[in-house]
Chains A and B, each alone.
Chain A
Amino acid sequence: MPLEWEPLLQNMSEAQRLIHERARLDSVDVQRMSAELLALRRQAFNDELLLQAEALGYPDQRGNLTDEYLLAELEAQSEEDAKSIANTFNYFLAVGLLALLFPTVKDYERWFLQWSAEYWAQKDPVIVQIAAGTAAALAQQAFYQRNRVGGSAKLQPRTAVCPVCLGWIARGLVPLFVALNNPPPYHPRCPHYWEIRPERAAAPSLADLWMGE
Chain B
Amino acid sequence: MASNPDLSSFSTKAARSQEQHRRKTRQRMLAHWQRLVQTLTADSAARIADIPAAMWDAADKTTPEAERAA
Contact = CB atoms under 8 A, between A and B. Distances in A.
A11 B26 contact: no
Interface string B21-53: 110011011101110110011011101111100
B29 A11 contact: no
Interface string A172-211: 0000000000000000011101010000000000000000
Contacts, number: 156
A47 B34 CA distance: 20
A14 B21 CA distance: 50
B64 A10 contact: yes
Interface band, chain B = 35 or more
B9 A15 contact: no
B54 to A, nearest CB: 12
A-side binding surface: helix, strand, loop or mixed?
Answer: helix
A22 B45 CA distance: 8
B48 A191 contact: no
Chain A to chain B: the 4 pairs with minimum beta-carbon distance, closest first: A157-B9, A22-B47, A14-B59, A14-B60
Specify the main secondary structure of chain B where it touches its partner: helix
A22 B51 contact: yes
A184 to B, nearest CB: 12
A51 B18 contact: yes
B55 A190 contact: no
Given A19-B51, A36-B32, A189-B3, 17 more contacts: A11-B63, A14-B59, A15-B61, A32-B36, A33-B36, A39-B32, A40-B29, A98-B63, A104-B56, A113-B41, A124-B37, A132-B29, A157-B15, A158-B9, A158-B10, A161-B1, A191-B1
A136 B23 CA distance: 12
Contacts of B34: 120, 124
